[in-house]
Amino acid sequence: MDDELPGDLAERIRRRNGAATIYDIAELAGVNPSTVSRALGKPGRISKKTEEKIRAAADRLDFQFNPMARALPTGRSHTIGLMVADITNPVIFGIVRGAEHTAAAAGYTLVIAESQESGEAEAEAVSRLLPSVDGLILATTRLADERIVKLAERKPVILINRRVDEVASVLPQVEEGVTELVAHLDDLGHRSIAYLSGPETSWISRRRWEALLDAAERRGMAVVEIGPLSPTIDGGRDALRRVQAARPSAVIAFNDLMAIGLIQAATAAGIHVPSDLSVAGFDDIFGSELIVPALTTVRAQLQLAGERAVGKVLEALHDAAEPVSDEPLATTLIVRGSTGQVSAR
């Protein structure tokens, strides 16, 4: 292949670690660099013939655009940032996968940062990320509304599981899922429910609680909120004492992780799930069907959420193939073993 390359060209490229530039191609093809840029970047702008010639030269040199050089004049890095609270929370997987794929399909790179559930860390990570991305997805953010609005003024920002006026978001159907779950518990004879709430700054935890209040009220059921708690297995575990004190017959946890923790703690304490206590969660994460009893939960379309979020970023960048739906993501009640008939006490 490259045995015919002019010596100096070959030498230059070697020194650059094998990375060819449009100048190399221009030289090889005997055209101006700007022509190369156009041939490779604006199909049709250059005559068929020269384009061919340039493409051939580019192939020969194994050319790839230098993304940084490209980003400088255009201001587009072709990179999308995804902030998550906790990478090890399985809820994130689906989102990450969906986001990564649609991003990659559109030629975008996904950058992931973790805030460890800390607003501080999140703010810092976000400002570190912001200059280098074209858009930002905040999944389960703990940032204050004003901060988010400020961010959205600088770059496209998409929220997952959070609503802030004027900022685009991808949301699940909260009411539908909660209503269905409460109906299910009602059918099983439960009259008193405890809700394990997540962090105070979690918008979606608040929404679920409000929906639960509504649904319980409509059915004349008793509900109490226990929390705020850490949205983790440990958070669920630690809540057992307060759950016992409240004596509900069923518990709805803000997420599956907490539900799993509660089931573990209850089982360890000799409380049988579901005969002594029914437990349900949200998200249907990996692990929910592994635990015994398997967890009743409200499944969310996480991967789709990730896809839509990226889609909306692309839309905002005028880079989308087609408009992205604004419909809330449908949820599905998955009934498994952790909820059961209320026992006669």
Cβ(229)–Cβ(258) below 8 Å: yes
CB closer to DNA out of 69 and 268: 69
When asked if residue 104 is in the footprint of DNA (CB under 7 A), the reply is no
The stretch near its own copies (CB under 8 A) out of 47-55, 123-131, 307-315, 319-327 is 123-131
Site string for its own copies, 85-104 (x = CB under 8 A): --xx-x--xx-xx--xx--x
* Binding-site partner at residue 38 among its own copies, DNA, none, CB < 5 to 8 Å by type: DNA
When asked if residue 56 is in the footprint of DNA (CB under 7 A), the reply is no
When asked if residue 72 is in the footprint of its own copies (CB under 8 A), the reply is yes
The number of beta carbons lying within 10 Å of the beta carbon of residue 280 is 26
| φ, ψ dihedrals at 75, nearest 5° | 75, 10
Alpha-carbon distance of 332 to 200, in angstroms, equals 25
When asked if residue 40 is in the footprint of DNA (CB under 7 A), the reply is yes
Alpha-carbon distance of 319 to 306, in angstroms, equals 17
Buried-state track 150-159, b at ≥16 Cβ within 10 A, e below 16:
ebbeebbbbb
Alpha-carbon distance of 313 to 238, in angstroms, equals 39
Residue of the chain from 19, 56, 104, 105 that contacts DNA (CB under 7 A):
19
Supply the minimum distance, in Å, between the C-beta of residue 50 and DNA: 3
What is the total count of residues that contact its own copies (CB under 8 A)? 45
The pair of structure tokens assigned to 333 is: 């009640």
Alpha-carbon distance of 46 to 189, in angstroms, equals 73
Residue ranges that bind DNA, judged by CB under 7 A: 16, 19-23, 30-35, 37-38, 40-41, 44-51, 65-66, 69-70, 72-75
Residue ranges that bind its own copies, judged by CB under 8 A: 17-19, 64-69, 71-72, 77, 79, 87-88, 90, 93-94, 96-97, 100-101, 104, 109-114, 125, 127-132, 153-155, 260, 286-287, 290-292
